[in-house]
């Protein structure tokens, strides 16, 4: 029974990460990955949340801005 609950929790976290409510660990993993695909996903999340960033914005700063945007969104939980 515990394994089913763990799997459901993991699936919920994966869904939130992919649909605009990413957790900090997921964002950090994208920032540290530094692959083109990971950076594109990070930027896509930022755009979905209307986070402003420029070519000089570091990955870490982008993660901070995304976290700020998700915390200020009344439909998400911190």
pTM exceeds 0.85: no
Dmax (CA) of the chain: 48
Q: Report how far apart, in Å, the C-alpha atoms of 1 and of each of 5, 9, 10, 41, 75 are.
A: 7, 13, 14, 34, 31
Which element (helix H / strand E) includes 39?
helix 36-48
Dig out the tokens for 22 from the structure. 């990413």
What is the reported pLDDT for 20?
56
Q: How far apart are CA 78 and CA 67, in angstroms?
A: 9
pLDDT at 7 (0 to 100): 72
Q: What is the chain's pLDDT, residue by residue, as a tens digit (78 residues)?
A: 567 767 766 766 666 566 557 888 989 999 999 899 999 999 998 998 899 999 999 999 999 999 998 886 545 444
């Amino acid at each position: 029974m515990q394994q089913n609950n763990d799997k459901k929790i993991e699936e919920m976290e994966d869904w939130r990460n992919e649909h605009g409510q990413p957790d900090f660990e997921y964002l950090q993993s994208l920032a540290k990955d530094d692959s083109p695909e990971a950076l594109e996903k990070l930027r896509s999340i930022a755009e979905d949340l209307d986070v402003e960033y420029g070519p000089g914005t570091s990955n870490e700063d982008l993660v901070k801005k995304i976290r700020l945007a998700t915390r200020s969104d009344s439909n998400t939980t911190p």
